[in-house]
Homo-oligomer: A and B are copies of this chain.
Amino acid sequence: MPKNTFYNLSDEKKGRIFDAALEEFSVRTFDQASLNQIIKNAGIPKGSFYQYFENKEDIYLYMAEIILKEKSDILNCVRGIDPDADVFEIIMHTTREFIKQGKEKPGYAEAGMRMKLDNSEIAKRVRKSSAEKFVTMLERDKERGLIKPEVDSQVVINMISTFSLNEYYENGSDKERYLKNLGQAIKIIKDGIAQPKD
């Protein structure tokens, strides 16, 4: 975690450093990202950086934490609206909300996504918990008899999240296309796991 000297900084400077980290980590993975580039973006000297953070990993985790928090805020907000809503609807809704935010804060969504495909141990650690909520919701639907009992919820969530990630990249700035494809994929999965009524 950042040192006290960082938290003592003005909000403006803290923001500048956060943005600089976001700018770099949204374009490169943890290993590839250059610390020198971050401090250049932020306009602070190397020495100052190490006065604020332990090391490169430190600022990465700091940034990741903020992004993930924001993401889970969206999720909690959506769930608040209708606790019994369809899991797939919630996923689509959350994704749409996340993209909407991404338009206002460019790099936000990019960094979040990149974190997923980052193979470094540190990124793996960060992204672990994110899918758990959806798995739980699927399990609930299974108990309700809406989903074939033999289906592995974790597999289903992995299918969606990996596809979502990939399409996000493939389609670049064409978010409409991304959402369309994600919608179709989710529909296919939904049809594929639905418990047929007899």
Contacts and interface: CB of A to CB of B under 8 A. Distances in A.
A155 interface: yes
A176 interface: no
A117 to B, nearest CB: 6
Interface in A180-198: 181, 184-185, 187-193
Nearest to A182: B155
Interface residues of A, number: 28
Copy number in the complex reads 2
A152 interface: yes
Main secondary structure of the interface of A (DSSP, over half): helix
Nearest to A32: B31
Contacts of A187: 192
Contact of A117 (B117, B155, B156): B117
16 contacts: A29-B119, A31-B32, A117-B119, A119-B169, A152-B181, A155-B185, A158-B166, A158-B167, A158-B181, A159-B185, A162-B162, A162-B163, A163-B163, A187-B192, A189-B189, A189-B192
